[in-house]
Amino acid sequence: MANIFSTHIPYHSLPDSIKNSGYRVVYLCRNPYDAFVSTWHFVNKARAESFRPLSCDDAFDMFCRGVLGFGPFWDHVLGHWNESFERPHKVLFLMYENLKEDITLQIKRTAEFMGVPFSLGEERVIEKISKLCSFNNLRELEVNKFGSLLQF
């Protein structure tokens, strides 16, 4: 059985128990423009109504300095990128744009990286996986419609 967790932590900040274990890391990188716009919208949505929305200029400055998100964007991305070259058996670096371009290839690549490649007979399952993971499907899930940012 696999243990899976999701995080926005930069590679250098992952605990040694992760980095020095048999765990594998799949890092999904977005285009910096898309990452910034997504972060800006997320922060404005998460801010209390009593605060004014963050301007695009202020948000961009904060994004570049690493105040928004999880450190400076390039430091975050390059940590995983470099590690994927140093330890390709341990870190798989994927780009969101490549997923959009050829989801089938990227699903196969991820399965192989995880040590569970698809057999020829299982390849028809890849289309089902891509539909289950599509934005259209994910945005319709109850948790994504009505979930909250903080739960205690």
- Which are the catalytic amino acids? 8
Distance CA 10, CA 78 (A): 9
**Joined tokens for residue 79:** 């940590």
Distance CA 33, CA 145 (A): 25
